[in-house]
Amino acid sequence: MNWTIFHQHVYPIRHKLYRFALRMTGSVPEAEDVVQEVLERVWKSSEVQSEGVQSWEAWCMILTRNRSLDKLRSNARRSAKPLDGVAEQTPDGADTARAAEARDMAEQARRFMQELPEKQRLVMHLRDIEEMSYEEITRILDIPMDQVKVSLHRARKAIREKLVAADVHFVANT
């Protein structure tokens, strides 16, 4: 990368990149970090890579989107509420077998959720664990509302079916 190309093609779109990152992350500091990392990556790109770029704006927007999604995934993992406490929420009079069953079901649900396709997993996490609205999910993932609802429905259905199958399998083995 040379200064002339960077100054003429990349630097002028920094505000557009920031607005895009802000829309995806919903956080000013996160958006600033994303843009800084994207600009740094573009600046450090090799001459061979720079020569292959047909549209600097498109390439920078793709880098911004990908880095924003990486930040969201990273933050979601750090702020995810563990499902371990689910079994501890049983009433005082509940027997230990019921508590163990709830713990096992929570663990199975966690495993099944990790097996979902990425979009379904992200939508389900944002809606059911982070308790975000459909509009917020639409904005964060940059997908239409219909797609958010369909992905959430399919994710919940897949997990429900796997839990039912696992329960049937467990009952059949006892």
**Tell me, what CATH number does 39's domain have?**
1.10.1740
Same domain, 99 and 152: yes
Is the distance from CB of 71 to CB of 30 less than 8 angstroms? yes
117-161 confidence digits (pLDDT tens):
988 987 887 788 767 789 878 877 788 999 999 999 999 999 888
Is the distance from CB of 109 to CB of 83 less than 8 angstroms? yes
Same domain, 31 and 51: yes
How many structural domains comprise the chain?
2
13-24 confidence digits (pLDDT tens):
999 899 888 877
pLDDT value of position 124: 86
The whole-chain average pLDDT of the chain stands at 80
Residue 27 in this model has a pLDDT that exceeds 80? yes
Same domain, 33 and 64: yes
Contacts of 18 (CB under 8 A, 6+ apart): 31, 32, 35
Is the distance from CB of 29 to CB of 75 less than 8 angstroms? no
Of 48, 63, 50, 53, nearest to 16 by C-alpha is 63
Domain that holds residue 18: 3-78
The residue out of 31, 55, 78 marking a domain boundary is 78
